[in-house]
Amino acid sequence: MPIIRRRGWEIPEHQVTPEAIAMNRRSLMKGVGAAGLLLAGGRAAMANDPAPTDNLHPYARNAAYTVERELTPERITSRYNNFYEFGTTKSIWQEAQGLKTRPWSIKVDGLVEQPFEIGIDDLITAMPREERVYRFRCVEAWGMTVPWSGFPMKAFLDRAKPLGSAKYLRIETFVDPRIAPGQRQIWYPWPYVEGLTIAEAANELAFLVTGIYGKPLPKQYGAPIRLALPWKYGFKSIKSIKRISFTEERPKSFWEVLQSAEYGFWANVNPEVAHPRWSQATEEVLGENRRIPTQLFNGYGSYVADLYKGLEKERLWA
């Protein structure tokens, strides 16, 4: 009989937080109102384009990644989203429904044995699928707990076969200003780009997400595929991935290009390192009207702290 040992970051499942709650009460009430519209018949607007892999949900939950905290309700997380391609407010879920998620393919290139392009449904079918409950911590000092569905990024690396000279992944999202009004703003360095090291991508927590709450990923969450890196601030978990390139040089991310003094490459969660404009010591729990202490690496230090040994001179916390 397997023995499950809980780690320091684990929290009870009855505590997981949904993604759509505003940090202030006014925003929260807007979110609740929008949720009412959804229940009144707006579910069609939440649907993704039909896909042959939709019926694979729900995925089996991996109990090793269940946290000791209540899940955040879906009605909250589905109405409280950052997705700058569609706007700068948290209530962009309706605008995000313009995203076409089928057909969708991902280009894999750079320092790999053989560059390739693969359709999202072919990729999902080929990968070992599971559900994981993770904390999510935004750099804006709010947090939630959600059940992501998808597959370990390590499984993707095994398929991509990066060369030994590859040190980083450069990941980018789609570009289509016709349906994404935010991409018409020329002061932003589109496409949205994020990066991580090969070691970070191979860590067991790094997760490519294709669903949430037991269903295919809705568009406002970053359909049809996004990244989840639970020990980092949320802007590192890039949405709607279209290309993954393996490189020898460290890529510059979207926010690093815009404001490197505030948003760096590493962006690991640390309560003792404030953002230039606010403290990171506590976080607002979406939907619970309370603040809780922030944890180093968002509580996942036992998994990831070793990744950063020898890098103490790097700016690891911004």
Q: 278-296: per-residue pLDDT in tens?
A: 999 999 999 999 999 999 9
- Phi then psi for residue 264, to 5 deg, are -105, -170
Contacts of 189 (CB under 8 A, 6+ apart): 254, 257, 258
Q: 11-68: per-residue pLDDT in tens?
A: 444 444 444 443 444 444 344 444 443 443 334 445 688 899 999 999 999 999 989 8
- 159 membership: H or E segment, kind and range: helix 153-160
The per-residue pLDDT for 66 is 86
Distances from the Cα of 104 to the Cα of 36, 101, 121, 237, angstroms? 31, 6, 8, 19
pLDDT, mean over the chain:
89
Percent of the chain with pLDDT over 90: 83
- Phi then psi for residue 169, to 5 deg, are -110, 130
Q: 142-188: per-residue pLDDT in tens?
A: 999 999 999 999 999 999 999 999 999 999 999 999 999 999 999 99
Q: What is the DSSP letter of 67?
A: -
**Paired tokens of 141:** 């000092």
d(CA 169, CA 200): 10
Separation of CA 61 from chain center: 18
The per-residue pLDDT for 211 is 98
